[in-house]
Each structure stands twice: as C-alpha cells, then as structure tokens.
Structure 1
Amino acid sequence: MREYLINTPVASIIFAFTIATSIYTFSAHQLFERFMLHPYSISKGRKLYTLLTSGLIHRDWGHLLFNMLTFYFFGFSLERLLVSLSPWGHVQFAVIYVLGLVLSDARTVFKERDNSSYYSLGASGAICAILFSFILFDPKMMLGVFFFIPMPAWIFGILFLGYCVWASRNARDNINHDAHFYGAIVGIVLTIVFYPGIIQHFIRQFADA
C-alpha cells in the first residue's frame, strides 16, 4: 500500500475514493441521485458538479468491478510510465483522467439537453481515456478482452471505437457509448499534446516488427 501511495499517488487516490464513494452510494440513494449526471440541468446552468461526481458512482457491483479492474490494470501502469518520462507525470495523469471524465460527457450533455429524464453515471469515460493513452505507448501489448480473448491492443482499439459509434446509434442498452468513445479520443489527444513524439513511437512499433 505504501509503495502505491509513493509511486502512484494520483491513481491510488482515484481508485480508493471511487470504490468508497460507489459502495457508500449503493445504499445512500439520495446522494446517489444527486451525484448522477443530468444533462438537462447542466444545460440550464445547474448541477455542473455532476460532470465530476457522476464518475465517483456506479450503477451496481458489476459496473464498479469492471471499471475498477480496468483502472487497476492500466491506471497505475500509466502513471508510473508518465512519471518515468516527465517530472510532471503525476499531473499529466490527473489531467488525462479528469478531462477524460468531464469532456467524455460533453456530447451526451448536448444530445440529451432537452431530455429531463436522462441520467448517466460511472467512470467509464475517464477510464477509456487512460486505456487509450496507454495503448499509444504500447500498441502491440496483448489484451484479454472479456478477460480471456487475447487481442493486440491496437486491434482492440479500432474495434472498440467502431463498436462505440455503432452502439451509440443503434444499441438500446442504457449504456453511454458516447462517453466511451469521446473518453478514448480525449486520452489520445492529450497524450499527443503531452508527448508529440508518441505518434512516431506508435508508428515505429509496426515498422520495427
């Protein structure tokens, strides 16, 4: 625990706080409802804080477990990697996560601005930002899709983004696919902003094969 707090303090705080808040709000229904993203209110200049607090809560145990497992595997690794590359690595990691969370919901807020019954929650947008940032550094790493199907990260990334676009238009599963897509894009863009050479690095991974 001490090693995590020293080497990856930002990821450790996000991880612990998100788990604690999510578990607490499972039974604190009033706070749960208050924390959910509500585009209708945001479009009227109210409840702007839900752009952040919606990432601290999850629908149920399965939703929380999936997101936190993904964060555990890639969030801590990304913060360590960024710190090894820059003295601002901790700050860069925090910026990717927070902006990934907030900006991933921008499209949803605009699209659902007149829908007073629409709510959204979960840290998926921010976690997608973290995941896709990491993929830029190691596109050929093998991912266990659904934890058992092996697939190179770059292939997974393409399929994932394509699925998000399709699901946003066609799926009726109450999942905010727009947040997943735009969170991934935010992660890619911010990583390029912080490390412009990442594009050449990404291409070299295939040229050197």
Structure 2
Amino acid sequence: MFALPPATQALILTNVIVFLMQSLGAGDGLASFALWPIGSGAFEPWQVVSYAFLHGGLSHLVFNMFGLYMFGGELERVWGPRRFLIFYFVSVLGAAAAQLGVAAWSGGMYPTVGASGGLFGLLVGFAMLFPHRKIVPLIPPIPMPAWVFVTLYGLIELGLGVTGSMSGVAHFAHLGGLAGGWLTIRYWRGQPPFGRRR
C-alpha cells in the first residue's frame, strides 16, 4: 500500500476512512453527500464529486479500491499526481453527468454512491496507454489485452444499462466515467473531437 504513488494512496485512504465513518453510524449525516437527482429536492452541487467517496457496502468499497490499486498507481507513475487527479476527477464528473441525465430522463429519484465512475475512467486510461498489456479478469479468468478487456466491459455495461439488468447498479454512470476518461486523453493528445496537442 505505502509503495503506491501519493495521490493514489490518498484516494484509497480517504475512501476507506469515509466508509468507516459510514459504518460507525455517520451514514445519515453523510446522506447529503450522495448524488441525488436534480429533481429530487435533495441535489446539491458538491454531490457531483462527494458521491465518489461513499460506498454502498464493503464489497463495493473493496472492488473499487482494488481497481484504484491496480490501475491508479500505474497511471500516476506515468502522469504524476496532478495530471492523474485531474484525470480521475474528470471521470468522476463524467459519471455524475451521465447519471444525472439518465435520472432526469427516467424519473428515478434514488441516490448514487461509489468511486466506480472514476475507476472506469482509469480502466480506459490504462487501455489507451497500455493497450497490449495483459489483464486477467476474475470472470472469465482468461488473459486478454487491456483494450479488449475494456471494450468488452464497456459493451457489457451498455447492455446491462439498456436492458435494466442488475437494478441498483449505475451502469450509465460507469459509461459516463469511461467516456470522461476517453475524452480527456483525446484532449491531451489533440485528437478529434479536439484541436492541437495539449
């Protein structure tokens, strides 16, 4: 853990501390930091960032922190902490925008929590920087290039979101985080739909 670069380490520790606060009875006090739909009457501007530090359970936290550990450290070593944090939080904002849009369209009035949107941004960032690096997913445990893994994962999320499978999972927020990360790297590289290299 302490061999991780500083920003990745700080994100993991902050998420764990907030989860412990939730578990120790501060959950009701933290409810205003979840991402509520704009029409719910409970939406506040800070929620587009704060929701990413709350989690719905231990497995939710562990999965997301494992992803931060696996992919965040690699990206931070390439970019440095400042660019890494910009990338991560743009992905978080992209996930929030997608979730708010879907909630406004569907009329859903439930809150969203979790760092998954940021994690999906890290996944696409990793695939764009290291497209041929092998990843072995848990299911199925078959080695595949990073770009193949992220493409398949994104298609699965899209299918689950469109069909409404696995209700309670913010599939379109995941896709929003993925899109935010993809667009950020395209912007930095000066690739369409953006102009010159940044």
TM category, shorter: 0.7 to 0.9
Partner of 1:156 in structure 2? 149
Partner of 2:194 in structure 1? none
Structure 1's consecutive aligned runs of 4 or more residues displaced over 4 angstroms after TM superposition are none
Residue in structure 2 matching 1:124, options 108, 113, 116:
116
Partner of 1:82 in structure 2? 79
Describe the superposition over 1:151-183 as per-residue Cα deviations: whole angstroms up to 9, x where unpaired: 221111211111111111111421000011111
- In structure 1, stretches of 5+ residues that fail to align are 84-89, 198-209
Q: Which structure's residues are more often helix, by fraction?
A: 1
Residues 195 and 61 of structure 1, relative CA distance in 2, 3 Å threshold: same
**SS at the partner of 2:136?**
strand
Q: Does 1:135 align with 2:127?
A: yes
Residues 149 and 32 of structure 1, relative CA distance in 2, 3 Å threshold: farther
Q: Does 1:73 align with 2:67?
A: no
Contact 1:105 1:178 in 2 (8 A): no
Per the TM alignment, residue 71 of structure 1 is displaced from its structure 2 partner at its CA by 0.6
Residue in structure 1 matching 2:47, options 32, 50, 53:
50
Deviates more, 1:22-31 or 1:167-176: 22-31
Residue in structure 1 matching 2:34, options 27, 33, 36:
36
- In structure 2, stretches of 5+ residues that fail to align are 192-198
Contact 1:41 1:47 in 2 (8 A): no
Take 2:108 and 2:74, find their aligned partners in 1: how far apart are those partners? 39
Q: Which amino acid aligns with 1:176?
A: A
Q: Which amino acid aligns with 2:52?
A: G
Partner of 1:146 in structure 2? 138
Q: Does 1:175 align with 2:169?
A: yes
Contact 2:134 2:146 in 1 (8 A): yes
Q: Which amino acid aligns with 2:31?
A: E
Contact 2:94 2:179 in 1 (8 A): no
Partner of 1:86 in structure 2? none
TM-score computed with the length of structure 2 as normaliser: 0.85
Deviates more, 1:26-35 or 1:57-66: 26-35
Contact 2:49 2:93 in 1 (8 A): yes
Take 1:31 and 1:143, find their aligned partners in 2: how far apart are those partners? 39
Take 1:31 and 1:99, find their aligned partners in 2: how far apart are those partners? 26
Q: Which amino acid aligns with 1:163?
A: I
Take 1:134 and 1:116, find their aligned partners in 2: how far apart are those partners? 32
- Cα RMSD for the two superposed structures: 2.2
TM-score computed with the length of structure 1 as normaliser: 0.81
Matched length = 187
Per the TM alignment, residue 115 of structure 1 is displaced from its structure 2 partner at its CA by 3.6
Q: Does 1:185 align with 2:183?
A: no
Contact 1:10 1:94 in 2 (8 A): yes
Take 2:154 and 2:94, find their aligned partners in 1: how far apart are those partners? 16
**SS at the partner of 1:174?**
coil
Q: Which amino acid aligns with 1:25?
A: Q
Deviates more, 1:185-194 or 1:111-120: 111-120
Describe the superposition over 1:107-160 as per-residue Cα deviations: whole angstroms up to 9, x where unpaired: 221221374631111000011111211111111111121273322211112111
Take 1:166 and 1:11, find their aligned partners in 2: how far apart are those partners? 30
